[in-house]
Every structure is written in C-alpha cells, then in structure tokens.
C-alpha cells in the first residue's frame, strides 16, 4: 500500500541518535553510525522524530510500504515501561489517530496492563517538545497600563512552542489551518511591539536566513508545512539589512516546492525599530 513514512538522508545524518528516543514505536535505530528505519511496520509516518534531528536528515515521504501495525508496535512499547506507553498514547491522541489509539488501548486491556491517561511528558529534548497554547486567554488587548507603570504586566501571546524552524514538527496540531508568522530572528529585539503588532493570533516560526546553515532543510520543512496543513495566511517580517531579505525568498521557494500559492504579507523593520 502507498502511505506516508519516514525517510532518512544518510548523507546528512551524523548518527547522533537524538531521534531514537522520540520514536517509542521502535522504528528507528542507530546502525553503522547512521539512523535507520528498521521496519515499515513500526513507522506511523506522523513525524514525532522530525523536530529533534539537528541536521534535518529526516523527512516524510509517500511511498509503497507495509501497513503500519499498531499491535506489533505495542509489543515493543510495553517492554519499555509505563512512561513510554503514556508517551505513545499521547502521540496518537495529539495527531487525532483515534482508531490506532483504540487499538493500542485494546492491546493493553487484553494483556491486563493498566491504560494510562495519554498525557505523558516529552521524552526528548525539552526545547523540541511541542506545546499548543492557543487556548490561553488573550490578555494583551485588555492591558491599559502604561509600560512605565509599576503594575504593568505585559502578557505573551505566543501560541506555540517550539518556534525555531529547526526544532518545529511540521505535523504539530497547531499548524492546521493556521495563520503563519515567519520572522527573522532579530525582529523581536528591534521591534518593541512585536507581540501585539505581529504575533497575536498567529503561529510563530523563526530562523536566521544569513547565519543558519540549514536553509535547504528549512525550505523542505516549510514546504511540508504548507502542503500538509492548509495554512490560511502567511506574514513575513524581517529586518531592513540586505541579508535578511532572504526570509521572504525562503518562504517563496517553499511554497513553490509545495505547489501552493498563499499570498505573503511582507513587513520590513528598520534597525531603529520602525515598520518601513
């Protein structure tokens, strides 16, 4: 059958192994100093391992593969203990894989193993743990105190974590039908009203188009985001310096790769902190 499944670029993989803990299904192992997909049966194609690869060596492709087998996966999962069981159930719930979640619970009940609530803490790097904060109350609009008032407490309107594109999981649930804000790294430091003016009600993605060494991987990951999530709008904000204009180009190339046409609202911020 043809389905989504993990693909590993061996030329990019340095064998660090950071992806392995984020695949409790047991689909990934380090073999001959490279990450390897050991069985199609164990890979659900949901991309939990994508966000922790520092080299951008992991992607999702659609190809002929053996059907994913939840029962065989559960045989691996239960051997790793309650924490891994919880992490796996949380992974399925996060991606709305209701049928697979029920299969996993049925397996646990058959084996007389207690079914934990699927809310496990993230096993991998805390900086890459996906957090959906869209339910947080919007308090920025209610702030009336002046910034020099001792009682003034500005509230963050950040709705997602992580924000760095290198760490972002392109299948994170908060990306579905999102209004996307793509910002160059320096902008929030230069523009004082960044949260209220740009970030409010948007999902944040940030990177440096000059210093980051993974631009091709960024284009690939953004293309997956555009292709798989039905992004509603794209706002790009970057600094006035010439090297920062590449932010827009990266987004445009990603849309081309994804064969998507989403109008881009392009904002330029001056070094003195003004919208040009």
What is the predicted pLDDT for the residue at 142? Answer: 46
Q: 196 lies in a domain? A: yes
Q: 274 lies in a domain? A: no
What is the predicted pLDDT for the residue at 164? Answer: 92
Q: 187 lies in a domain? A: yes
In whole angstroms, give the CA distance from residue 113 to residue 187: 50
> Do residue 181 and residue 106 come from a single domain?
no
> Do residue 162 and residue 86 come from a single domain?
no
> Do residue 99 and residue 213 come from a single domain?
no
- Structure-model confidence comparison of residues 225 and 121, the more confident one: 225
The predicted-structure confidence for 24-76, as pLDDT tens digits, reads as follows 777 888 888 888 888 888 888 887 777 678 888 888 888 888 888 999 888 87
> Do residue 204 and residue 134 come from a single domain?
yes
Q: 213 lies in a domain? A: yes
> Do residue 15 and residue 67 come from a single domain?
yes
* Ranges of H-type helices in 133-265: 187-190, 194, 215-229, 246-258
> Do residue 136 and residue 263 come from a single domain?
yes
> Do residue 102 and residue 135 come from a single domain?
no
Q: Is the pLDDT of residue 144 over 50?
A: no
Q: 24 lies in a domain? A: yes
Boundaries of domain holding 182: 130-140+154-269
- Whether the full predicted model's pTM is greater than 0.95, yes or no, is no
Number of domains in the chain: 2
Burial (0-12, 13-18, 19+ Cβ within 10 Å), 113: middle
- How many Å separate Cα 187 from the centre of its chain? 21
Q: 265 lies in a domain? A: yes
């Amino acid at each position: 059958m043809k389905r989504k499944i993990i693909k590993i670029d061996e030329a990019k993989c340095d064998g660090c192994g950071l992806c392995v803990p984020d695949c409790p299904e047991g689909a990934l192992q380090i073999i001959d100093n490279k990450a390897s997909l050991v069985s199609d049966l164990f890979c659900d194609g949901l991309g939990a391992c994508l966000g922790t690869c520092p080299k951008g060596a992991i992607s999702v492709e659609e190809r002929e593969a053996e059907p994913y087998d939840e029962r065989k996966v559960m045989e691996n999962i239960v051997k790793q203990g309650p924490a891994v069981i919880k992490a796996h159930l949380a992974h399925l719930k996060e991606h709305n894989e209701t049928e697979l979640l029920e299969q996993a619970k049925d397996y646990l009940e058959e084996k007389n193993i207690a079914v934990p609530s699927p809310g496990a803490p993230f096993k991998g790097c805390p900086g890459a743990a996906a957090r959906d904060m869209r339910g947080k109350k919007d308090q920025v609009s209610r702030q009336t105190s002046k910034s020099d008032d001792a009682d003034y407490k500005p509230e963050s309107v950040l709705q997602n974590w992580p924000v760095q594109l290198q760490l972002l999981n392109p299948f994170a649930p908060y990306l579905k039908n999102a209004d996307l804000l793509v910002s160059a790294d320096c902008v929030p430091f230069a523009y004082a009203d960044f949260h209220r003016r740009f970030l409010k009600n948007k999902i944040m993605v940030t990177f440096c188009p000059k210093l980051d060494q993974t631009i091709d991987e960024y284009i690939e990951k953004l293309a997956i985001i555009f292709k798989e999530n039905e992004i509603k709008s794209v706002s790009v904000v970057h600094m006035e310096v010439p090297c920062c204009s590449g932010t827009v180009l990266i987004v445009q190339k990603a849309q081309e790769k994804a064969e998507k046409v989403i109008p881009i609202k392009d904002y330029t911020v001056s070094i003195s902190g003004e919208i040009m």
